[in-house]
Amino acid sequence: MQEVEVKYLVSDESALLSALAGQGIRLSEPVRQDDQAYAPASWRYGMSKRNVTFARLRTQSGRHLFTVKRPLDNELACVEHETVVADRAQMHDALLIMGFVPTVRITKTRRTGTWGEVTVCVDVVGGLGVFLEVETMAGENDAGTETQERLHSQVVALGVAVERVTHTYDSLLRARSNGEGRSEEGLRREYGSASVGHADVDGDGVRGVVGEPVQTWFVQVGGGGHVGQ
C-alpha cells in the first residue's frame, strides 16, 4: 500500500477550521510531534526523491515511531512502513550504520480528523506556519497523482484560500533556512531556489548534510496560477 496526500499552506487558520467544522469534521486535541528526517548518504536536496528510500524517527506522546518511505509518482505518494521502537537514540545509531544521514529536524503540533474515507491533519510547523494535509491509502500500483487530484477536489470544495505545496516539510524547511521573511511572498521567493547549510538535528552535535537548491511549486486554490518554480 502507499500513503497518498496533498498539502496546503494556510493563510487563515480560523477560516479553515470553520470550513472543516462545516463539513462535520471533528479535530483531535493538538499533539506535539518531534521528527528527525533521514536520507541515504549519497542523496542531496535538489535531487529527485522518486524511488529513493527515506527514513524518519518521530516522538509523539512518549512513543518513538520509526518510518520508512519510498516516493513513487512524487514525494507525497509513498510506499510506507512504520513501527514503534523502544529506544530512539539506538535507532538513530542503527540508521547511521545502515547508510542514512540525518537531514532536517521538524517540530510541529498536529490535530487530526476524518473526512469520509480520508484523514485530515492541521499542522502548525515550527519555522513554516500552518498547513493542511489530506491523505488516504491507495494500492502500490495505483496512480498516486490521480488519487491526489481527487483529494485536491475535496479541498477546493471547502472554499478556503490555501496554497497547494508539492514538497514535504523537510524540503520546505531546508529551503526556508536561507533567512527569508515569513510572509507568503517570502516563502514563494525562498522556495524558488535556496542554498542551505548544516543543521543540528538533536541538540547533540549530530548534523545533517549540506543541501542543494530546492524547487517547489505553489498552486493558489480558488484563484491565481502557479507561483514560483
Q: Where do the domains of the chain lie, and which CATH numbers do they carry? A: 2-227 (2.40.320.10)
Whole-structure pTM value: 0.78
* Rounded CA separation 137/79 (Å): 10
Buried b (16+ CB within 10 A) or exposed e, 50-79: eeebbbbbbeeeeebbbbbbbbbbbbbbbb
**pLDDT per residue of the chain (229 residues) written in tens, 0 to 9:** 899 999 999 999 999 999 999 999 999 999 999 999 999 999 999 999 999 999 999 999 999 999 999 999 999 999 999 999 999 999 999 999 999 999 999 999 999 999 999 999 999 999 999 999 999 998 877 889 999 999 999 999 999 999 999 999 999 999 998 554 343 444 344 333 332 333 333 433 333 333 333 333 344 454 333 333 2
The three cell numbers of residue 51 are 524511488
